Amino acid sequence: MQPFTYFISDLHLCAQRPDISQCLFDFLQTQAIKAEALYVLGDLFEAWIGDDDNSEFNLSIATAFKTLADKGIPLYFIHGNRDFLIRKTFAQQAGMTLLPEQYVINLYGTPTLIMHGDELCTRDVVYQKFRRKARGWWWPRLVLSLPLSTRRKIAENGRKTSQKNHAKLSMEIMDVSPEEVIKVMAQNQVTQLIHGHTHRPAIHEISVNGQRAKRIVLGDWYDQGSILKVSRDQLQLLNQQFNA
């Protein structure tokens, strides 16, 4: 068997969906253990209120990743728009290396840009404005300085509102701007891009400044685990089924 690397994103893990967590545990124990590396490209969690939130649930997820890391599988994490407050403390607990929001890796000879992908949805002007603030220096500091109980309340209210208000989901529904994709790929001098966020799994053949290129989109984990498996010769979008 050829060496291969896995990419996942948009699991949106939360205590209310143990079936998703179980699917992840199965994937880590039976599949990821055979990989050369595992990249988690954001929105691992539905919400993240701070590394000091030592809930049993969060610890169970950290432990599952750490077990894999301890077996020698390198684990990498890029923040999503739901869990951008993950810091070094959690990353260390989970045995993961935090990567910058856009990162170029050499994927079996192909320079490949990896990211969560929310920054590609430039048509959502309101969100991009929030993103600049949320990824800046003062906003996270301010939020993380609030008592944990306050942050928990804010997150809980946010969850209730987003359940009631479908319009709040428009950010996830909105697709990437094709011009932005080309711009970002050209800037990074790559012909391969892997991202999540849009929940529209696909391998798109595109052209970047006259060169053949690929944009690979990871799927979410709402109904099954969406997994990208890459080896030297093959790119495969796979699904890991939930166990009943």
Point out which residues bind Mn ion (CB under 5 A): 43, 80-81, 197
Minimum distance between the CB of residue 83 and Mn ion, rounded to whole angstroms?
Answer: 9
Nearer to Mn ion, 12 or 73 (CB): 12
Q: Long-range pairs for 71-77 at CB < 8 Å and ≥24 separation? A: 71/33, 73/32, 73/33, 73/35, 73/36, 73/37, 73/38, 74/36, 74/37, 74/38, 75/37, 75/38, 75/40, 76/37, 76/38, 76/39, 76/40, 77/39, 77/40, 77/42, 77/44
Nearer to Mn ion, 197 or 214 (CB): 197
Nearer to Mn ion, 73 or 201 (CB): 201
Nearer to Mn ion, 44 or 64 (CB): 44
Minimum distance between the CB of residue 75 and Mn ion, rounded to whole angstroms?
Answer: 19
Minimum distance between the CB of residue 9 and Mn ion, rounded to whole angstroms?
Answer: 8
Minimum distance between the CB of residue 197 and Mn ion, rounded to whole angstroms?
Answer: 4
Q: Which amino acid is at 221?
A: W
For 41-52, letters b (16+ CB in 10 Å) and e give bbbbbbbbbbbe
Q: Which residue is nearest to Mn ion (CB)?
A: 197
Minimum distance between the CB of residue 196 and Mn ion, rounded to whole angstroms?
Answer: 6
Residues in the chain: 244
Helices (H), the chain: 18-30, 56-70, 88-94, 125-134, 138-144, 148-164, 170-173, 178-187
Nearer to Mn ion, 43 or 119 (CB): 43
